[in-house]
Amino acid sequence: MRILSFVAVLAITIFLFLFLNSSDFASATVGRITKKETFIPPMGKLLSPSSGFWRNAESKTGPSLSSSLSDGSLSAPVELLYDDRMVPHIFANNMQDAFFAQGYATASLRLWQMEFQTHAVSGRLAEVLATSEKMREVLLKMDRKKRKAGLPLAAKQTVELWKKDPKTYELLQRYADGVNAYIDDLSYAELPLEYKLLNYRPEKWTVLKSALLLKAMAEDLTAKDHDFEMTNAYKYFGRDTFNLFYPEYFPEQSPIINDTAFYNFEPVAVGDSLAKPFLGFDQGLPKNPNPQPKGIGSNNWALGGKKTASGYPILCNDPHLKLNLPSIWFEAQIVTPDFNVYGATLPGAPGIISGFNQHVAWGVTNVAHDVRDWYAIQWTDETKSSYIFDGEEKASEKILDTVYVRGAGFVVDTLIYTHFGPVVRTVNGQDYVLHWQANEPSSEAKTFILLAQAKNYQDYQAAIKHFSCPAQNLVFACNNGDIALWTQGKLPLRRPEQGKFVADGRYSFNQWSGFMPQKHIPHEYNPQKGYVASANQHSVSPAYPYYTYGYFEEYRGRYLNGQLDALSAATDSEMKALQLSNFSQKAQDFLPLLMKYLQRGELSKDELELLALFRDWDYEYTAEAVAPTIFEDWFYNLQALTYDELEEAAAQGMELNYPDAWHLLGLLKRDTSSFIWDQVSTEKQERIEDIVTLSFKETLNTVPKNKSGQPIRWGEMKATALYHLARIEEFSILDLSVGGTADALNAVSNRYDFAASRKADSLVHKGGSAAGPSWRMIVELGEKKPKAQAIYPGGQSGNPGSHYYDNMVQAWAEGRYNKLLYLESAEEGKEKIRIRQRLH
């Protein structure tokens, strides 16, 4: 009997041990009971009071970081001070030790985020997140798509390019060494929570991972293209009607470089014949499968001393990117005997992306020039070993690619490359390859390493010439009074309309002709107007000697330039007001015209009451306002009715895009008798008044309403969300009530899906994170020490159990800023320092 009892107890003990400490055993057991595939982490370890998730809960004083680290690779001790917001202030004797410490400090607070982002861009999410059959299927598809697009290979080639510059490569390696110094000391108890929940451990950090992160940024900012949709439209409408629907230039726009005296140079010969789209397909081409959300952009500007109260330049920057948790940015200060730099860093890459030192400040916005072209390939046979190019056979390159899927083993894929780039899409048997500047090796890391040391305009010029992709409007200010802006990057030389359509890959004349010479890249240096500024609008006017094509924003830039023109004796207060401005230039442009053509006599009592809600609206998209909700819904209905020709094309299998909003403005202002106003599906000849009125009448039924039947507030409509990177809702912030809109300087995008709501007859929101100001920074330069303020929606820690995970979100939402603690010595500002570390 005792033996049976012993055996029973032993069996139960073994079962509990396996269940609590083996993820595979526990998952399989629960799966058999529930008849569903279930992922269970090793619960014994996860629930352990000494090493489980309890250890990830922090007090408000911050994480438990060791007071010292011994590493034989350091040439001298490094002081690492964390302030009351957990911003690391690094004091080192040289750059090599400083970047080691930056890697160590960033990993201490953001390790899981850093590695997860490299897994995402390299097509390795299935390795760590594929915890069920459904997840395996979804993630494998995502991973294969990432690998086919080419960025993992481009990152490897980038590392090889970096190795040709030993000094820069050494700094990148020292950053990786610092990350690994932190990883090497990690016990299970100290692992970030996501590793425990998903049951895996971090890998060693490499320079390749830093390259992958920079390629991920290039992807976010250059992955937009409408080549397929434009080709569909060209084939469906023909040249003349296509030109009416899709003009390239907004007459009201205010370009970044508006001094046409700069345009007086002899350009490199490219040719002026119009590009011809590839039309060798029988059915409509599908839309881009990865549309970029509106709001991926930015604002930046620098005021010269003549426009500021202090007489010194002020520089401002607020990059608009996806708003996730942990935040895309990480604040840091790095001090060596040669420089003292502070700003926003990209976790996983050395240097400061947007920031300042004791002499200069800089910031970035997306240039938005198109650097992605698609080519249709004609293979010589079914093996796809060669293709036709200029009447001859040209060999392709095939690369065997292995994808590991958690719980399912390895999947082998074949990647095919042409001289244009990789084969990425196949539609109805036709292969299309992608020529993308992001797939080329590049040296952006060197730009930010050099900017940290910059002292003047010449240093700035020397630093930015290494920047290729994503092309950025790099704004600059110096305490000697200089201001400047370059639309820096490798900008393709194209014939007119080249890059707008899918091209025929059989002919070399469809290739890029090279890149703009550095001296011809649009730029301004100490302009007479007293400021430089960008907000993703056109870089130049049509008078510029080269053809430029891209995806530009035309409202923020015009409003920003108008406001800066009127400024004098400016202080940080005016700068904050601009960054936080919810004013919509688009609404101011459109609403008076819509009111002009609206036939009030045809409106019902309820419709007139809805119209009355526009009374005294100041075009501000505040969270509490109702008018923006009505206007945006009306505008969507107006577009749908005006461009009903596109719906007819869709019924025939052609996926087309709406023209840019400013095209509709042009119709309202200058082409009120256009055939476009007429409805294709009716016998009646509709006029502009009919369409404006009908679209407003529809709005009464389609505008989102609350339980009382009233239009909802704009903040509720937007439902701004900051999702955790792994989409864990418990670690996310949902339905944050903030103002702004993609067309305002405070460009917090809206997640409301008009099209889905029409079909669902309910309020429908997109599932992804919002996009918007991911970092607001204002730097006032001075003779000695700069003064700066900044904020971002998140916190310094990537740990959901930390006070510093999201402690700045509410301040960001309310428009508040933090005064940045710019230390000149390790002994300064002692009252603000929470944690001191010594690396030796």
Band the pLDDT of 27: cuts 50, 70, 90. low
Q: Name the β-bridge partners of 825.
A: none
pLDDT of residue 285: 74
**Confidence category of residue 15, pLDDT binned at 50, 70, 90:** very low
SS3 7: helix
Q: How far is Cα 789 from Cα 779, in angstroms, rounded to an integer? A: 7
Tell me which of 105-114, 294-303, 341-350, 625-634 is least confident.
294-303
User: For 539-548, what is the mean pLDDT?
Assistant: 94
Exposure of 336 in the CB half-sphere (CA atoms within 13 A): 17
DSSP state of 600: G
Give the Cα separation of 231 and 654 in Å (integer). Answer: 10
pLDDT-derived band at 45 (thresholds 50, 70, 90) equals confident
Name the band, by pLDDT with cuts 50, 70 and 90, for residue 491: very high
- Alpha carbon distances (Å) from 492 to 25, 270, 437: 55, 11, 9
What region does 123 belong to: left with phi over 0, alpha with psi -120 to 50, or beta?
left
Cα gap 788→777, rounded to integer Å: 7
- Please give the Cα distance from 20 to 689 (Å, whole number): 70
Q: What are phi and psi of 596, to 5 degrees?
A: -65, -40
Instruction: Say if residue 690 carries a ligand binding annotation.
Output: no
- State the Cα–Cα distance between residues 594 and 745, nearest whole angstrom: 23
Report the run of H or E that residue 717 belongs to, with start and end.
helix 714-718
Q: Which of 654, 657, 656, 646 is nearest to 282 (CA)?
A: 654
Query: What is the average pLDDT score of the chain?
Result: 91
- Which amino acids are annotated catalytic? 298
Region 114-128 average pLDDT: 96
Question: Which pair of tokens denotes residue 223?
Answer: 């992955």
pLDDT digits over 343-364, tens only?
Answer: 999 999 999 999 999 999 999 9
Per-residue pLDDT tens for 753-770?
Answer: 888 888 776 777 776 778
Q: Of 14-23, 30-39, 713-722, give the lowest mean pLDDT range.
A: 14-23
- Please check if 97 is assigned to a binding site: no
Using N-to-C axis directions, what is the helix angle for 166-184 and 95-121, rounded to 10°?
Answer: 70
The predicted pLDDT at position 349 comes to: 96
Which pLDDT score, from 0 to 100, does residue 477 have? 98
Residue 592 exposed, middle or buried by CB count within 10 Å (0-12, 13-18, 19+): exposed
Say whether pLDDT at 152 is over 80: yes
In this prediction, residues 70-80 reach a mean pLDDT of: 92
Q: Which residue has the tokens 């002020």?
A: 314
How many C-beta atoms lie closer than 10 Å to residue 267's C-beta? 14
DSSP state letter for 689: H
Q: For Cα atoms 694, 699, 705, give the angle at the middle one, nearest 5 degrees.
A: 165
Q: Which amino acid is at 658?
A: Y
Judge whether residue 21 has pLDDT over 90. Answer: no
In 3D space, the residue among 566, 584, 574 whose CA is nearest the CA of residue 621 turns out to be 584
From the list 578, 652, 677, the residue with the least C-alpha distance to 244 is 677
- The answer to whether 145 and 135 are in contact (CB under 8 A) is no
Q: Can you give the pLDDT at residue 47? A: 72
Helix (H, G, I), strand (E, B) or coil at 764: coil
Q: State residue 222's pLDDT score.
A: 94
Alpha carbons 561 and 368: distance in angstroms, whole number: 18
Mean pLDDT, range 32-39, rounded to an integer: 56
Which single residue is written with the structure tokens 């019902």?
A: 604
First-to-last alpha carbon distance for the chain, in angstroms, is 63
Query: What pLDDT score does 99 carry?
Result: 98
The answer, yes or no, to whether residue 16 has pLDDT greater than 80, is no
Q: How confident is the model at residue 436 (pLDDT cuts 50, 70, 90)?
A: very high
pLDDT at 43 over 80: no
Q: Which amino acid is at 560?
A: L
Q: What percent of the chain has pLDDT over 90?
A: 78
| CA pair distance 480, 464, nearest whole angstrom | 19
Strands, E, within 626-781: which ranges?
720-724, 733-736, 771-773, 776-780
Q: For residue 292, is pLDDT > 90?
A: no
pLDDT over 90 at 13, yes or no: no
Among 253-262, 576-585, 693-702, 777-786, the least confident range: 253-262
Q: What is the DSSP letter of 236?
A: H
How large a percentage of the chain has pLDDT more than 70?
Answer: 93
Question: Tell me: the pLDDT tens digits for 235-250?
Answer: 999 999 999 999 999 8
pLDDT of residue 343: 98
Query: Token pair for residue 180?
Result: 């690994």
Residue 386 has pLDDT above 70, yes or no: yes
H-type alpha helices, 294-387: none
Render the burial of 550-587: b for 16+ CB within 10 Å, e for the rest.
bbbbbbbbbbbbebbeebeebebebbbebbbbbbbbbb
Mean pLDDT confidence for 552-581: 96
Whether pTM exceeds 0.85: yes
802 has a pLDDT exceeding 90 = yes
pLDDT at 579 over 50: yes
Q: What is the pLDDT of residues 304-346, one digit of tens each?
A: 999 999 999 999 999 999 999 999 999 999 999 999 999 999 9
Residue type for position 50: S
Q: Are 310 and 569 in contact (CB under 8 A)?
A: no
**CA separation for the pair 176, 209 (Å, rounded):** 9
Residues 77, 70: Cα–Cα separation, whole Å? 9
Six-digit token string for 754: 């008009």
Q: Measure CA 41 to chain center.
A: 32
Asked if residue 10 has pLDDT above 60, the reply is no
Q: Could you tell me where the DSSP H helices lie in 580-626? A: 585-597, 605-612
